[in-house]
């Protein structure tokens, strides 16, 4: 899709050449700055009970009188925030995406500046609206005709609009990639597939790539990662991809993504209901690769390393058993009390491996705990760090990108839960505070650098009728990485 800004002077909106005009409006009346034919269409619809100035409401007018575009869609935002703008956009684009319009011009119906954030919101909302999963569903609806989206703005806002659109386009491509990886079923999206996708990405963007297989992982001594992988016939992959945008001496940002391509729970097997959703258990890996894609396109002056430990968690004659003790790459031993707490077992070795890059900061991303879904639901990702400044940077990135996260506690007191009589630690604590003890477990492997953990168990995908991956937290991560430049 092509995203551009379009400078339109006041009063010229109705003369705009586009297949459709999408006007996002907030407040409870038409603004005097809006062109008369558009204002008239809205006022008439309100009078006939066809439209209300209420968030979520949309109006569709075909061949609107006095307007050059063949279609007019009005979407009510309910408020002046960019978040409200984006939600209304999604509604309006939802109306348009199945129609014949190729070029839609989007305008803010209220006087007010168009900002970078509006541009980014438009690009990401449009890309999200037209995404269709079809890899294993040939009968999926045809691709939307929509291929060009312009953001109407005043001359003074053109630079900001363009900058936001460009960033949004890169973020959107990262989100779309992450959605596609995660949506593909586990018999398609295997560790090998993830490695191939990383290879493709590296080739297209000139990135450095290393893919370690079982033998190399054994030689390194990643006993914890190996323990999870050993139950599956599907070969493990340890993926390391590097973007170099600054001098080699500059410490990199490191992202680590959980790449469990299917989580059965192992011998501590999960109940059957909704187990299909455990194909999304590589959502962390997907978002890390998606972010790498966005960053490779935006080319900031920094170094980025993405690490993805990828394998399946399966029960079998070779699978780990509750009570098994393994030695992690760090040398610390782990009593595996529950084989379903596998994410932390693969992440801990990746976090130790990250030390070799002498990172400026490490953020790991994982669909780690059901407990995080209970705590935060599906709106905020859980964010854990003992570093207040880092927490603030992640929160700022989440606000800018409209991809919310919420800081969770990580006090020393929670560490007691991991005591074991047979190893340096157990891999689970009690049910209470399950997302925190999971983070505390990871913390034991992160002493050598600044570190934060994102639990995306509630935000990486949607269940129900619209089941599918969201591509989160690619927007948050991209903004965070960009914020680390310079």
Q: 19, 128, 263, 403: which one contacts Mn ion (CB under 5 A)?
A: 263
Contacts of 66 (CB under 8 A, 6+ apart): 14, 36, 37, 40
**Of residues 15-44, which lie at the interface with ligand BES (CB under 6 A)?**
none
Given the residues 344, 443, 444, 472, the one annotated as active site: 344
Select the binding partner of residue 223 from Zn ion, ligand BES, Mn ion, none (C-beta < 5 to 8 A, by kind): none
Least distance from Zn ion to the Cβ atom of residue 64, Å = 51
**Residue at token pair 């509006």:** 118
Residue 263 interacting with Zn ion (CB under 5 A) = yes
Listed ranges 89-97, 115-123, 279-287, 475-483: which one lies at the site for Zn ion (CB under 5 A): 279-287
Rounded-to-integer distance, Cα 352 and Cα 259, Å: 16
Residue 434 interacting with ligand BES (CB under 6 A) = yes
Rounded-to-integer distance, Cα 75 and Cα 91, Å: 7
List residues bridging with 106 in a β-sheet: 22, 151
Concerning whether 279 is annotated as a catalytic residue, the answer is no
Per-residue mark of binding to ligand BES, 238-277 (x: CB under 6 A): -------------------------x--------------
Taken as a whole, the chain contains a residue count of: 486
Q: 116, 120, 157, 340: which one contacts ligand BES (CB under 6 A)?
A: 340
Listed ranges 233-241, 369-377, 384-392, 407-415: which one lies at the site for ligand BES (CB under 6 A): 369-377
Residue 340 interacting with Mn ion (CB under 5 A) = yes
Q: CA 363, 369, 370 angle in degrees (round to 5)?
A: 145
For 3, phi then psi, to 5°, come to -115, 130
CA 328 to chain centre: 29
Contacts of 314 (CB under 8 A, 6+ apart): 231, 232, 233, 234, 262, 264, 266
Q: CA 185, 188, 193 angle in degrees (round to 5)?
A: 125
Residue 315 interacting with ligand BES (CB under 6 A) = no
Listed ranges 51-59, 300-308, 321-329, 362-370: which one lies at the site for ligand BES (CB under 6 A): 362-370
3-class secondary-structure state, position 73: strand
Concerning whether 270 is annotated as a catalytic residue, the answer is yes
Sequential DSSP letters for 278-340 = GGGGGHHHHHHHHHHHHHHHH--SSEEEEEEEEEEE--STTS--TTEEEE-TTS-EEEES-TT
Select the binding partner of residue 264 from Mn ion, ligand BES, Zn ion, none (C-beta < 5 to 8 A, by kind): none
Which residue lies nearer to Zn ion by CB, 131 or 193?
A: 193
Per-residue mark of binding to ligand BES, 171-210 (x: CB under 6 A): ----------------------------------------
Identify whether the C-beta of residue 474 lies closer than 8 Å to the C-beta of residue 456.
no
Given the residues 68, 134, 270, 450, the one annotated as active site: 270
Catalytic residue numbers, as ranges:
270, 344
Binding site for ligand BES (CB under 6 A): 263, 281, 338, 340-343, 367-371, 373, 428, 434, 457
């Amino acid at each position: 899709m092509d995203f551009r800004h379009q400078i339109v002077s006041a009063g010229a909106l109705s003369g705009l050449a586009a297949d459709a005009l999408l006007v996002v409006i907030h407040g409870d009346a038409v603004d005097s700055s809006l062109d008369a034919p558009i204002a008239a269409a809205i006022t008439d619809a309100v009078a006939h009970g066809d439209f209300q100035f209420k968030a979520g409401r949309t109006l569709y007018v075909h061949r609107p009188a006095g307007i050059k575009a063949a279609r007019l869609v009005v979407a009510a935002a309910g408020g002046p925030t960019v978040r409200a703008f984006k939600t209304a956009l999604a509604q309006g684009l939802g109306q348009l995406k199945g129609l014949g319009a190729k070029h839609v011009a989007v305008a803010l119906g209220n006087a007010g500046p168009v900002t970078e954030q509006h541009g980014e919101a438009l690009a990401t909302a449009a890309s999200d609206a037209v995404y269709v999963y079809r890899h294993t569903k040939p009968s999926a609806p045809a691709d939307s005709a929509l291929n060009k989206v312009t953001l109407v703005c005043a001359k003074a806002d053109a630079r900001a609009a363009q900058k936001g659109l460009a960033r949004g386009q890169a973020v959107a491509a990262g989100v779309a990639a992450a959605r596609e990886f995660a949506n593909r079923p586990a018999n398609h999206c295997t560790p090998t597939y993830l490695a191939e996708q990383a290879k493709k990405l590296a080739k297209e963007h000139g990135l450095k790539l290393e893919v370690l297989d079982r033998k190399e992982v054994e030689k390194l001594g990643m006993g914890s990662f190996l323990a999870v992988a050993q139950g599956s016939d599907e070969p493990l992959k340890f993926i390391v991809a590097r973007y170099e945008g600054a001098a080699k001496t500059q410490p990199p940002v490191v992202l680590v993504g959980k790449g469990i391509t299917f989580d059965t729970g192992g011998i501590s097997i999960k109940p059957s209901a909704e187990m299909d959703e455990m194909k999304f258990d590589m959502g962390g890996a997907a978002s890390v690769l998606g972010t790498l894609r966005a960053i490779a396109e935006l080319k900031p002056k920094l170094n980025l390393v993405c690490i993805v430990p990828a394998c399946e968690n399966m029960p079998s004659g070779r699978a780990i058993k509750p009570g098994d003790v393994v030695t992690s790459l760090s040398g610390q031993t782990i009593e595996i009390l529950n084989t379903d707490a596998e994410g932390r077992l693969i992440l801990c070795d990746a976090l130790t491996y990250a030390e070799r890059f002498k990172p400026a900061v490490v953020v790991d991303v994982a669909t780690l705990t059901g407990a995080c879904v209970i705590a935060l639901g599906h709106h905020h990702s859980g964010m854990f760090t003992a570093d207040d400044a880092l927490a603030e940077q992640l929160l700022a990135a989440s606000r800018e990108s409209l991809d919310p996260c919420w800081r969770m506690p990580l006090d020393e007191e929670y560490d007691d839960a991991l005591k074991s009589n047979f190893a340096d630690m157990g891999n689970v604590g009690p049910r209470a505070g399950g997302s925190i003890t999971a983070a505390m477990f990871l913390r034991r492997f992160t002493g050598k650098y600044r570190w934060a953990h994102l639990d995306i168990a509630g935000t990486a995908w949607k269940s129900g009728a619209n089941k599918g991956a969201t591509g989160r937290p690619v927007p948050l991560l991209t903004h965070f990485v960009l914020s680390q430049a310079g």
